[in-house]
Amino acid sequence: DQGRARTNGERAQAAQELRDREEVEKELSVVKTWIQETRELLLNPTPDIDALLYRQNVDKLAEQQQSKYLDLYTILPSEISMQLAEVSLALGAIEDQIQKTREIKENFSSRIHDISEKLKAVSTKFKEKSPDVDHAKEEVKNLVEDLDSCGRTLAELDAAVQDFSRRNPFLAKQLSDAISKLSEMHHHTSRLADCRNNWLKKAVCYLDEYNEMLDFIVRWSERARGLVRANIIWNSSVHLQEQIRLYQSVLRESRELHGDLESMAEKVDLLSEVLQVESMSQQVCELSRHTEELQQSIKIRLQSLEDAYKSMEALEYEVKALHVALEQVQATLTSPELARQSLKEQLAQRQRLLADMEGFKQQVQAVQLCQSALRVPEEVMPNLAICRTALRLQQEASQLQHVAIQQCNILQVQQGPHKRPSGWLIKH
What is the secondary structure of 282-330 as a DSSP string? HHHHHHHHHHHHHHHHHHHHHHHHHHHHHHHHHHHHHHHHHHHHHHHHH
* Distance (Å, whole) CA 299 – CA 302: 5
> Can you give the pLDDT at residue 75?
58
Q: Is the pTM of this model over 0.95?
A: no
Q: How far is CA 229 from the centre of its chain?
A: 33
Contacts of 131 by beta carbon, 8 Å cutoff, 6+ apart: 275, 276
pLDDT of residue 46 exceeding 50? no
Domain residue ranges of the chain, discontinuous segments joined by +: 2-105, 113-200, 208-308, 311-415
Are domains 208-308 and 311-415 of this chain identical in fold?
yes
**Domain boundaries 311-415, CATH class:** mainly alpha
CATH topology of domain 208-308: Methane Monooxygenase Hydroxylase; Chain G, domain 1 (1.20.58)
> Can you give the pLDDT at residue 422?
45
Which whole number is the average pLDDT over 183-207?
88
Backbone angles phi, psi at 75, to 5 degrees: -90, 160
pLDDT of residue 297 exceeding 90? yes
pLDDT of residue 302 exceeding 70? yes
Q: Nearest CA to 260 among 289, 294, 217?
A: 217
pLDDT in tens, 233-266: 999 999 999 999 999 999 999 988 999 999 999 9
Which whole number is the average pLDDT over 50-58?
58
pLDDT in tens, 338-366: 555 556 666 666 677 766 677 678 888 89
- DSSP-derived letter for residue 234 is -
Residue type, 305: L
